[in-house]
Amino acid sequence: MVADGTPRRMHPGTVAITFLRKAPQNVLAIPIFAGWMSGRGFGWALLIAAIAGGFALFFMWLKWRRFTYTVGAEELVIERGLLNLSRRSIPLERIQDVSIERKLLHRLFGLAEVRVETGGGDADEAVLDSVSLAEAQRLRAALRGQRVAASVETGEVAAPAEPHALPVVFAMSPGRVLLLGLFSFSLVWLAALFGAIQFLDQFIDFGWDQIKDYAGAARAEAQARFSVNAVLIVAALALALGVVSGVISTLLRDWGFTLRAGEGRFRRTRGLLTRSEVVVAMRRIQLALVQRGPLRGWLGWQALSVQTLGGSNDPSGRQLLAPLATEAEVSELMRIAGLPPFERLPLRPVGAGHVVRSLIRTVTAPLAAILLATVLLTPLALIGLLVLPPMAAAALLQRRYHRFALSGCGLQVMRGVVAQRDWTVPANNVQVVTLHATWLQRLLGVASVLVDTAGAKGRGAPDVVDVNLPDARALAAGLIARVD
């Protein structure tokens, strides 16, 4: 039994994993820096590395030694700390779920990280990093079993293999993961790669400069001869790298994406090197968000994520249930989650003032920048005016694509021209409603209805912007009237 009330320590392999994970900064970076500063050579740097490593290892061992967890009959208690003792007790009934994540190092050591998720917003409420895989599964069974009060009675804790017993409701085939990777073309990864090279450049000195020199010489040569070709080649290379990096990052993240459902929860597993498992309790779902990216949306692909209250590994507070799915698959998942289907027909557009406001918002800043550059730098900056018509067109279309409806089951909002988003918010999940109007909005006779929900911060709230004032009043009053 796990729920025996005796304190346990994490797996001793934790020390090794932590050491390896922190080694680059503890053992490598400091000694290399110190050795480089002193100029006394390699042996000296090695000595410092050994001392630093020894210290790090000792403190990690101490930390491991002082960290215990106890599964009692009523609560999970985590005690830790050397000087500042901390004791955190989490009532079992407050535990929403237990998720298991295995990064590459964990898998090498046969360990797993266990996250105990409660309703609180704090992501690090209870993380056991790391315990053996068997212990992780036993813990999950015990902590969840207490709540569901099912398998504990029989004492059958050693067979918690039910995650695979749940039916699969959505899965990504390798081909579809690859397709998602192609859509995920991004130069951000490329920038990160170059950033990493620049960063490593400070530490590693084996000939990167020469390579850069060769490359620079070659480029100068090439530019001198066929500069247009060279530019095209560089652009094509960047494009290819963008595609490749998108594919690789997607493969690493979404390989073997499987979503199972049952017993009031979704269980998602994904990842090639880091296998992560996330549990989403259906009754904690606050809203559903369907996203259609620029290219994939036109081809009929959608992504479904849900926002849940607390206990999220994802800093955004939303969990992806399906990264690339057809409309039918998404509506089936929404049905399983107990959410009303997204209906386009009853949606009504926001006020005409939205056109004016989105035009002002999108065009003003670039126009000012271009005019400033024209006056201060070069008349050539006027070429930049070419980007304005497409931006203005997108702004003018915003109203067509920003619609909302309040039905018996809740609020539905769609927004976005190039990247489209559909929100479905069950009426009971609305926390606070705010009517908001700037002086320009009041001049245009519109107001925004800001809908506050639990679980996720920042952008991506199901706000309805620039609604005609009578509609806005009716929407706010209707939302509040449906709370019970």
Partner 1 sequence: MLLPDVPLQPLERGHLNAMRLSGAVFFAAAAIGSAIPSYALSREWTWLPVWAAPLVLVLIGLWSVLIAAPRRWARWGWAWTGRELHVAQGWLTQSHTIVPALRVQHIDVTQGPVERMFGVATLVLHTAGTTHSTVHLPGISRATAEEIRDAIRAKLSAEPW
Site for partner 1 in 198-237 (CB under 8 A): none
**Binding characters for partner 1, 306-345, by CB under 8 A (x = yes):** ---x-------x----------------------------
**Interface pick for partner 1 out of 204, 385, 434, 443 (rule CB under 8 A):** 434
Tell me whether residue 391 or residue 437 sits nearer to partner 1 (CB atom): 437
CB-based burial, 394-427: b 16+ in 10 Å, e otherwise: bbeebbeebbbbbeebbbbbbbbbeebbbbbbbb
β 410-415/403-406 pair status: antiparallel
Q: Residue from 114, 453, 465, 471 that binds partner 1 (CB under 8 A)?
A: 453
Residue 437 is a binding residue for partner 1 (CB under 8 A): yes
Among 134, 197, 368, 432, interactor with partner 1 by CB under 8 A = 432
Nearer to partner 1, 131 or 289 (CB): 289
Q: Is 147 in the site for partner 1 (CB under 8 A)?
A: no
Q: Pick one of 118, 286, 312, 468: the residue that binds partner 1 (CB under 8 A).
A: 286
Using the rule CB under 8 A, which residue among 454, 462, 466, 468 binds partner 1? 454
If one asks whether residue 364 binds partner 1 (CB under 8 A), the answer comes out as no
- Find the binding residues for partner 1 in span 371-390 (CB under 8 A): none
Q: Could you tell me which residues come within 8 angstroms of residue 326 by beta carbon, excluding any fewer than 6 positions away?
A: 300, 301, 302
Report strand pairing: 285-292 vs 68-71: unpaired
Among 258, 433, 445, 478, binds partner 1 (CB under 8 A): 433
Determine the straight-line distance between the first and last CA of the chain, rounded to whole angstroms.
42
- Piece of 132-140, 155-163, 174-182, 439-447 that binds partner 1 (CB under 8 A): 439-447
CB-wise, 275 or 318, nearer to partner 1? 318
Cβ nearer to partner 1, comparing 334 with 430: 430
Smallest Cα–Cα separation from 73: which of 6, 162, 128, 157? 6
Tell me, letter by letter, the H, E, C secondary structure of 39-94: CCCHHHHHHHHHHHHHHHHHHHHHHHHCCEEEECCCEEEEEECCCCCEEEEEEHHH
Identified binder of partner 1 from the candidate list 356, 455, 467, 468, rule CB under 8 A: 455
Q: Using an 8 Å Cβ cutoff, are 185 and 243 in contact?
A: yes
347 binding partner 1? (CB under 8 A):
no
d(CA 292, CA 470): 31
Return phi, psi of residue 323, to 5°.
Answer: -75, -30
Burial of 94 (0-12, 13-18, 19+ CB in 10 A): middle
Among 112, 172, 247, 430, binds partner 1 (CB under 8 A): 430
Q: What are phi and psi of 159, to 5 degrees?
A: -120, 70
Residue 301 to residue 180: CA distance in whole angstroms = 10
Nearer to partner 1, 271 or 460 (CB): 460
* Position 476 contacts partner 1 (CB under 8 A): yes
Residue with smaller CB distance to partner 1, 419 or 443: 443
Cis ω for the linkage preceding 151 (within 30 of 0)? no
Query: Which one among 6, 173, 229, 438 touches partner 1, defined by CB under 8 A?
Result: 438
**Closer residue to partner 1 (CB): 90 or 272:** 90
Give the pair of three-digit tokens for residue 270.
Answer: 């994904």
From the list 157-165, 351-359, 402-410, 469-477, the region that binds partner 1 by CB under 8 A is: 469-477
Q: Are 142 and 152 in contact (CB under 8 A)?
A: yes
Verify binding: residue 118, partner 1, rule CB under 8 A.
no
What DSSP assignment string belongs to 80-148? E-SSS-EEEEEEGGGEEEEEEEE-HHHHHHTEEEEEEEESSS-TTSEEEEEEEHHHHHHHHHHHHHHHH
Binding of residue 484 to partner 1 (CB under 8 A): yes
Q: Point out which span in 212-220, 226-234, 237-245, 454-462 binds partner 1 (CB under 8 A).
A: 454-462
| Residue from the set 447, 464, 467, 475 that interacts with partner 1 by CB under 8 A | 447
Phi and psi torsions of 346, nearest 5°: -75, 0
Task: Label each residue of 275-309 as H, E or C.
Answer: EEEEEEEHHHEEEEEEEECHHHHHCCCEEEEEEEC
Binding of residue 461 to partner 1 (CB under 8 A) = yes
Candidates 284, 318, 402, 403; binder of partner 1 (CB under 8 A) is 284
Query: Do the bridges between strand 265-270 and strand 464-468 make them parallel or antiparallel, or are there none, so unpaired?
Result: unpaired
Q: Does 289 bind partner 1 (CB under 8 A)?
A: no
Assess 39 for contact with partner 1 (CB under 8 A). no
Nearer to partner 1, 367 or 437 (CB): 437
Q: Between 40 and 442, whose beta carbon lies closer to partner 1? A: 442
Cα 87 from Cα 76, distance rounded (Å) = 10
Nearer to partner 1, 407 or 428 (CB): 428
Cβ pair 348, 405 in contact under 8 A = yes
361 is a contact residue toward partner 1 (CB under 8 A):
no
Q: According to CB under 8 A, which one of 456, 464, 465, 475 is a site residue for partner 1?
A: 456
How many residues interact with partner 1 (rule CB under 8 A)?
A: 34
Q: At what angle do helices 187-203 and 208-254 cross, to 10 degrees?
A: 130
Which residues make up the interface to partner 1 (CB under 8 A)?
Answer: 284, 286, 309, 317, 429-439, 442, 447, 450, 452-458, 461, 469, 472-473, 476-477, 480, 483-484
